[in-house]
Structure 1
Amino acid sequence: MEGSTIVNDVIRLTGVRARGNHGVFEHERRDGQEFVVDVAVEVDAFDAARSDDLERTVHYGVLAERVVAAVEQEPVDLIETLAERIAAVALGFPATIATEVTVHKPEAPITVPFQDVSITIRRSRSTTSTP
């Protein structure tokens, strides 16, 4: 489209680890377990790169700390709910256009051998009322 700009700039955090007490079972709430989070934030990095100004992008160190804090907050039953919480954190940065969040629960209480279970969600300012 003439006059529009396609943004493909992504800041990606992979494998952020935090302990949380999420799950539907009493032992998950009591004992907790490790969650692994991948977060991608879509930004328009042009102005930040041109000005070399951290305020015009997403500070990935602060994002990582806020993701960990979100996992460590009060328990929820579903990793879907946890993913929504983390997406709201990512969208809280003014430079974030959209975010994709994957929450891995490698210690999920599944009775068969498995490597991982995860949920991936994508949210943008236009698809959510999150600030």
Structure 2
Amino acid sequence: MINELDEIYIQKVRVKAILGLYPEERLNPQDFIVSAKLYLDLREAGKSDDINHTVDYDSLHRKLAEIANESECLLIEKLAELCAAECLSHALVQACTIKIDKPEALELADNVAISIYRQRQ
């Protein structure tokens, strides 16, 4: 089914958030990067040229940033689930992939990231 759907990408939404297990991670906001890939049918939007037939990605990227900035989760996995739920709350979105980068997480590596895929039941 996913192969038959179109995709909208929201890439590299930069946020600062309290996120992490360790006490030092809970003191000051860290930099995170949230990206989303939305799977939906865009044919009607292409025909109608009407925003009601697609996802308002400006509003969605702001909502993803708000979720990240306010969440104070312990795990990036939890933040990814919250972001996926927001994406799937849009009626046209059939599935999504959420990627969260935590560039300050590891001392000897440039980045750690997770990616989750969620679809409507």
TM-score, normalization by structure 1: 0.87
Letter in 2 for 1:99: C
Give the C-alpha shift of residue 116 in structure 1: 0.9
Find the aligned partners of 2:2 and 2:67 in 1 and give their Cα distance.
Answer: 32
| Superposition pairs of residues 89-104 of structure 1, within 5 angstroms | 89-104=86-101
Residues 44-91 of structure 1, C-alpha deviations (whole Å, 9 max, x = no match): 000111111101111110110011011011311110001000001111
Count, aligned residues: 121
Structure showing greater radius of gyration is: 1
TM-score, normalization by structure 2: 0.94
Give the C-alpha shift of residue 30 in structure 1: 1.2
Which of the residues 10, 14, 18 maps onto 2:11? 14
Paired position in structure 2 for 1:121: 116
Sort the Cα spacing of 1:98 and 1:36 in 2 relative to 1 into closer, same or farther, 3 A: same
Any gaps of 5 or more consecutive residues in structure 2? none
Give the C-alpha shift of residue 33 in structure 1: 0.2
Paired position in structure 2 for 1:129: none
Letter in 1 for 2:41: D
Which of the residues 14, 27, 30 maps onto 1:30? 27
Give the C-alpha shift of residue 14 in structure 1: 1.0
SS at match of 1:38: strand
Find the aligned partners of 2:66 and 2:3 in 1 and give their Cα distance.
Answer: 32
Give the C-alpha shift of residue 28 in structure 1: 1.1
Which of the residues 54, 57, 71 maps onto 2:68? 71
Identity %: 31
Sort the Cα spacing of 1:76 and 1:115 in 2 relative to 1 into closer, same or farther, 3 A: same
Structure 1 segments, 4+ long, off by >6 Å, are none
Find the aligned partners of 1:74 and 1:12 in 2 and give their Cα distance.
Answer: 22
Find the aligned partners of 2:9 and 2:3 in 1 and give their Cα distance.
Answer: 18
Letter in 1 for 2:68: V
Any gaps of 5 or more consecutive residues in structure 1? 127-131
Give the C-alpha shift of residue 25 in structure 1: 1.1
Flag the structure with higher helix content: 2
Sort the Cα spacing of 1:89 and 1:53 in 2 relative to 1 into closer, same or farther, 3 A: same
SS at match of 2:47: helix
